[in-house]
Amino acid sequence: MAKSQESFDLVDLKLKVSGRGDRLFFGFSSVAAYFAFSLVFLIVIFLGNASFSTFKTQGLAFFTGSTWDDAAGVYQIFPMLVGSVLCSILGLLISAPISIAIAYFIEFMAPPRLAKALTNIVDLLAALPSIVIAIWGAFVFAPVAAQWAQIINNKLGFIPGLQNTSGTFVGSPFIAGWILAIMMTPIITSVCREIIGSVDKDLVSAALALGGTRFSTMRRVVIPTARGGITGGILLGLGRGLGETIAVLYVLNLVFIVNFNILENYGGSVAPMIAAYYGESSEVGVSALLAAGVALFLITLFVNLIAQIFVGRYEKKMAS
């Protein structure tokens, strides 16, 4: 009884704001908080306003058409949207298993010291500048990956999606997918590591005491428990991939034709397209690029919000 009385007082103490200093202090922090809160809306309003004319003149064809002609004033980004999604999904197919494997290794297989070192390396990689990956991708990786693409095409070219009509293999969504995988892996890994690490150790012990093997414990207990959080982590990676600009710009041959053949020597992606066309566009063209930016922002925002909800829901479940 005495204890609960005491904590009541403490809560009151925490709520108390008195004096000019306090009002200034909390005033500043509230202003900062509302500023952070309103940024999303500011971005939508200003980008939307600056690109409104494009949406008005182009109409729905802006999203569904496949022509980009600055001289003729036609701006349509469908192939780029398709390409963004295609490259990001390719990136996820590569990076999600790798990330989950690294997270699993750190949490369940590595000795404590190695686990700590790997965690640090993953955190460092999250700060890997995309221009560094861009230069490596263009000069070192792309020629090698083009060889892989050629071999895959030789052996499996009869499968739809793996065809190539041009005979050259650089500039393909396949290569962009690998580059994106490198950019996505750190974020997916760090979320998955935290999620897998937060699975109740008692449950893992219980599974092992019931004769669980490493594999069956992971499959029956760890993965089902962590599923929501892992999904959130993968979605965060998807958001990262959709927004990646420079690294993709250097390895992907941007062409305004819808392409689902991942080994073909061209593809699309919204973010690098904006960077590539920005310098050489007319005033109207820049407005169209801003419109593409709005589309990109809304897509990534949507993906990220869903990801936040998944991760947040998982954390709440773990806390209870």
Partner 1 sequence: MTTETLRLVTPETPWRVRSKSQLVYIFIASTLPAALTFLIADQMKLAGLIALTIVFLPLQLLAASLAALITVGKRGILDAILTVSVLFLMLTMGFLLGSVALSLVQKGFKALSFHAIYQNSFYVTSVTSLEYGGLGHALVGTLVIVGIAVIFAVPIGIAVGVFLTETQSRMRGSVRFLSQAMTGLPSIVSGLFVFAFLYLTGWVQRSAILGSVALFLLMLPTIIRLSEEVLKLVPQELRYAALALGAPRHKAFFQVIFPAARSGIITTCLLGTARVIGETAPLIVLVTYLPSTNFNPLSGDMASMPTYIYSWLKFSTDLANQRAWGGALALMILVGVLFTLARFFGRKRF
Partner 2 sequence: MESLNPISSNSFGADVHLSTKDVHVWFGQRHVLEGVNLEFPVNSVTALIGPSGCGKSTFIRTLNRMHELIPNAKLAGEVLLKGQNIYAVGVDPIQVRINIGMVFQKPNPFPTMTIRGNVLSGLRLSGKHSRNEDELVENSLQAASLWNEVKDRLDSPAGSLSGGQQQRLCIARALALAPDVLLMDEPCSALDPGSTIRIEETIRSISKNMTVVIVTHNMQQAQRVSEQTAFFLAEDNNPGYVVEAGLTNDIFHNPKDKRTEDYVSGRFG
Q: Is 111 in the site for partner 2 (CB under 8 A)?
A: yes
Enumerate the β-bridge partners of residue 75.
68
Which span sits near partner 2 by CB under 8 A: 132-140, 209-217, 247-255, 263-271? 209-217
DSSP secondary structure letters along 21-72: HHHHHHHHHHHHHHHHHHHHHHHHHHHHHHHHHHHHHHTTHHHH---EETTT
What is the closest distance, in whole angstroms, from the C-beta atom of residue 296 to partner 1 in the complex?
6
Which span sits near partner 2 by CB under 8 A: 37-45, 118-126, 127-135, 198-206? 198-206
Q: Is 221 in the site for partner 2 (CB under 8 A)?
A: yes
243 binds, among partner 2, partner 1, none (CB under 5 to 8 A by kind): partner 1
Reference 315, options 206, 232, 254; nearest CA is 232
Q: Is 205 in the site for partner 2 (CB under 8 A)?
A: yes
Cα–Cα distance, 283 to 287 (Å, whole number): 6
CA distance readout (Å), 145 to 98, 164, 217: 18, 15, 36
84 binds, among partner 1, partner 2, none (CB under 5 to 8 A by kind): none
- Phi, psi of 65, deg, nearest 5: -90, 170
Q: Is 313 in the site for partner 2 (CB under 8 A)?
A: no
Q: Is 212 in the site for partner 2 (CB under 8 A)?
A: yes
Reference 189, options 59, 102, 281; nearest CA is 102
Q: Which is nearer to partner 2, 33 or 109 (CB)?
A: 109
What is the closest distance, in whole angstroms, from the C-beta atom of residue 34 to partner 1 in the complex?
8
Q: Is 114 in the site for partner 2 (CB under 8 A)?
A: no
Q: Is 155 in the site for partner 2 (CB under 8 A)?
A: no
Q: Of all helices (H) and strands (E), which one includes residue 1?
A: none
Which positions touch partner 2 (CB under 8 A)?
111-112, 200, 202-203, 205-213, 216-217, 220-221, 224-225
